[in-house]
Structure 1
Amino acid sequence: MRLVRLSIRQLGVLAIVCCILFGALTLTATAAPNPISTHAKGVALIDVESGRLLYSSNGDKPMKIASLTKIMTAIVAIEHGKLSDMVKTSIRAAGREGSSIYLKKGEEMSLQNMLYGLMLRSGNDAATAIAEHVGGSEEGFVHMMNEKAQMLGLTNTQFMNPHGLDVPGHYSSANDLAKLTAYALKNPTFKEIVKTKVKKAPNPNDPWDYSWTNKNRMLTMYEGADGVKTGYTKQAFRCLVSSATRNGQQLAAVTINDGDDWLDHQNLLTWGFSNFPLSEVTHKGQPLNGYPLAVGRSLLYPFAEGEKEQLRSKLTLLDVQTTAYSLGERGYLEWFIGETKIGTTPVYEPLSSRITLPEHPAWAMPTHSALQVAKPWSSSFRSALMLTLSTLFGGKGAAGW
């Protein structure tokens, strides 16, 4: 084996390069967030924008969920009902046991106001009246709830009623509730209702208005809190879904059967904001190097420390004969952290360059053809390192060691 004699200068530069390389490798490794624990039997924490589950403990275990059920009741009613409709209270609704807004038989209230009574005061009477109005019957509405759960991929969820009173076969999981909440919070009506601290509504039975104070104490005890729902039964025990927004990032926390939920939720949300800040992956209109294309949708993602350095993307261009192509889409970018896919964004021709193109432009490729448009940071660093060593050792590079 041929030995290479190094000058003092070369040894010094090599030491510096090795230190840089070691530091870079340390940076690209994902740092595990500080551990966190709660008093709950089931826990989940989710980033609302991306849908990324940031923390889960017994997250897929089906459990009784009490009035957290009403998150699904509300979003189904909002999507399928008309907020200005007047909802008439049946004798069945007026007599519903448990928490109540004290509706009387025959009383009429707008669906919108009844949803406030449902979510702020957890009215079981409101839940029943809403279900009968929107679903035609309580049973019909429960069928709609379960259809929605299936559509959202909530595989550990089954509803038997719209209010959450304990009955066999009525359950969900922390992870499913986190996914449901992230979905519901993207609806502006739902989002507005659950962040409301006090709501007044017309009262046909008395000379004064209804005044409902939200049972969710997180709204007044945690900075940025903006939802969502409390729950309790003797079998489910204390249940809570809370949400908060800081620096443009919204998180939602779920605990089931938790003896210290107010404290646990404050800790969970703070932990999430500290360890998974929301960052931009790409923005709408960003051009693609080497292609007459631009990103069609912004993408944000909550990165843990060290993850963003592993970000890479893959571009797939559409066949010109596809329907999507005829509608203007030219392909899509898939974004990865390592081998884990975190999102997809479409790509289009920039408006400024939309001119008449040939029927089969040179850059168009079939759907199965894909290429890398963003290398992991470590690959770029490795190339720069090899160039430095090649220069240092007179063109020998690493092979001359």
Structure 2
Amino acid sequence: MISKKWTRAWCCVFLCIVCSASCGVKPVYASKSSQTVQSVQTAKNTRTKRPVKPAKTEKNPKLTNIKQGPDRISADAAVLMDVETGDVLFGKQADKRRPPASTTKIMTAILGLELGSSDEVVTVSQKAANVGEATLHLDPGEKINLYELITGALVKSGNDACVAIAEHIAGSEEQFVQLMNSKALALGAQNTHFGNTNGLPLKDHYSTAYDLALMARHGLSIPQFASITRQKETEIHFLEPDSLMDLRNTNKLLWNYPYADGVKTGTTTAAGKCLVASATKQGRQLLVVVLNAPDRFGDAKKLLEWGFENTETVHLGNAGQTIAEFPGSKDHISAYIEAPVEISIPKAEHLKLQTRIVWEKTGDLPIKAGERLGRWEVWLGEQKLDSVPLLSERDVVKNRSLISFFPFGK
């Protein structure tokens, strides 16, 4: 049984890494044309929520080191991110490696939900029951559903629950930690290394504010994760012995800030007070990470309020929207974008937003419907924020007398 789960786990992580690599845009450096955005519309907050897009892999120093923000925050490191777009709106030592404490449990919960089934029954081992510090006070031999354990790990911050989850999914905590590191890398968290499942002090166990934001953003795209982390109070049910345990969330921001809806606290002597928190206001969700923050809840509230007040999401294009006509041919080939394009920026920077078209293909025929012709770049002043492929709307064959027209993917 364990062997089967272990194989399934590695397959899932392998596929995630492959998919992550395939999302990158191949760089082409010859710029042949550009255009200024004539009009941009602020994204409506009432839009239907789409699946979370992959985080941008290109570094954006202008945004990650942005000077604007609250006057003072106590955190040693911090990040403010738009959950839908993945854009970083504020950063303070965003890539500084620090102990993440119990924010580690974000990744443990993600893998528990992705690699296991909620109703799987977990039997608590002696090793899991022996884990100290913040715990659910698990006893050896107790039986409980996996979902209940994940809830205990996220809401009550149970260290013992994390070990029980790991052993159930991968056979041992050590093997599960390997999965955690692979998953982190697949999500773009390049400055993270986990040594355990719960964040208890360990020399080679670290992350960054930016990496934790990436992981939490992915977690929030999982409905069960989002549902668990927004709960102020809940209870979990043990199967053997048949009993209930009341839980109260360690994230006080859920009580102190009306828009808060997640995610996880963390505290150790080495890490200081840490918090990963999300909030949704008028349909827009922001995510904040503060590490080694004496006033973590105050810092989080300041950053979230600043983000809602001073930044916006700009909607630039819809999926399937025609952007331009390919200039390399006389056959009037329209080029479109496959996915919506949205950018989160400071409101004061709105007028600096531009788009540029870079054609990558020559005019040689044939051209297939859906073939990449170039890319559509989004710039804020002198800084490139995003780049999306421009695709051909139709087939064009070599012999013009035999040109065929085939709408693509409509």
Q: Indicate the TM-score class for this superposition, using the shorter chain for normalisation.
A: 0.7 to 0.9
RMSD: 3.0
Quote the offset at 1:166 in angstroms.
Answer: 0.5
Q: Which residue of 2 aligns with 1:394?
A: none
Q: Identity of counterpart residues, as a percentage?
A: 34
* Partner of residue 195, structure 1: 230
Aligned match of 1:313 in 339, 348, 356?
A: 356
Q: Name the counterpart of 2:24.
A: none
Aligned to 2:381: 338
Most deviating of 52-61 and 237-246: 52-61
C-alpha separation in 1, matches of 2:372 and 2:400: 14
1:1-400 to structure 2, matched below 5 A, reads 33=68, 35-204=70-239, 208-290=243-325, 292-310=334-352, 311-316=354-359, 325=368, 331-348=374-391, 357-358=396-397
SS of residue paired to 1:114: helix
When you count helix as a share of all residues, which structure comes out higher? 1
Preserved CA contact (<8 Å) 1:63 1:172 = yes
Instruction: Give the deviation of 1:87 after TM superposition.
Output: 1.5
Distance 1:88 1:319 in 2: 62
Q: Which moved more, 1:292-301 or 1:282-291?
A: 282-291
5+ residue gaps, structure 1, are 1-29, 363-401
- Normalised to the residue count of structure 2, the TM-score between the two structures is 0.72
Q: Residues of 2 paired with 1:90 and 1:321: CA distance?
A: 65
Q: Which amino acid aligns with 1:78?
A: L
CA–CA separation in structure 2 for the residues paired with 1:206 and 1:321: 72
Give 1:207 shift: 5.7
Deviation of the 1:325 alpha carbon: 4.8
Q: TM-score when scaled to structure 1?
A: 0.74
**1:106 alignment partner AA:** G
2:238 match: secondary structure: coil
Cα pair distance change 1:109/1:45, threshold 3 Å: same
Instruction: String of CA shifts for 1:256-303, please: whole Å, max 9, x gaps.
Output: 121111111110100111121112122223332545343321122112
- State the shift of 1:154 in Å: 2.2
Q: Structure 1 residue 71: deviation in Å?
A: 0.9
Over 3 Å counting, the alpha-carbon distance change for 1:320 and 1:218 in structure 2 is farther
- C-alpha distance in 2, partners of 1:80/1:42? 31
Q: Distance in 2 between matches of 1:215 and 1:206?
A: 26
- Extract structure 1 runs of 4+ deviating beyond 6 A: 319-322
Contact 1:33 1:275 in 2 (8 A): no
**1:314 Cα deviation after fit:** 1.6
Aligned partners of 1:320 and 1:326 also within 8 Å: no
8 Å contact 1:48–1:182 — kept in the other structure? Answer: yes
Per-residue deviation at 1:221? 1.7
Q: Can you list the C-alpha shifts for 1:376-400, whole angstroms capped at 9, x where unaligned?
A: xxxxxxxxxxxxxxxxxxxxxxxxx
CA deviation after TM superposition for structure 1 residue 184, in Å: 2.3
1:330 to 1:208, Cα distance in 2 relative to 1, 3 A: same
CA contact (8 A) 2:372 2:390 kept: yes
**Higher mean Cα deviation, 261-270 or 213-222?**
213-222
Q: CA deviation at 1:56?
A: 1.8
Secondary structure of the structure 1 residue equivalent to 2:91: strand
CA 315–83 in structure 1, closer or farther in 2 if over 3 Å, else same: farther
Q: Which moved more, 1:242-251 or 1:149-158?
A: 149-158
Moved more, 50-59 or 112-121: 50-59
Taking a change above 3 Å as real, the CA distance of residues 206 and 282 of structure 1, as seen in their structure-2 partners, is same
In 2: Cα distance, 1:86 partner to 1:66 partner: 27
1:318/1:325 contact within 8 Å kept: no
Q: Secondary structure at the match of 1:147?
A: helix
Q: Distance in 2 between matches of 1:234 and 1:212?
A: 24
- Find the aligned partners of 2:400 and 2:241 in 1 and give their Cα distance: 72
Q: CA deviation at 1:240?
A: 0.8
Deviation at 1:348, TM superposition (A): 4.7
Structure 2 CA distance for aligned equivalents of residues 299 and 360 of structure 1? 35
What's the counterpart of residue 22 of structure 1? none
Structure 1 residues 346 and 223, CA gap change in structure 2 (3 angstroms)? farther
SS of the equivalent of 1:99 reads coil
Question: 1-side partners of 2:368 and 2:124: how far apart?
Answer: 51
Distance 1:47 1:172 in 2: 20
SS at match of 1:203: strand
- The one-letter code matched in structure 1 to 2:384 is K
Alpha-carbon spacing, 1:357–1:289, altered in 2? closer, same or farther (3 Å): same
Q: Distance in 2 between matches of 1:280 and 1:361?
A: 38
Aligned residues: 329
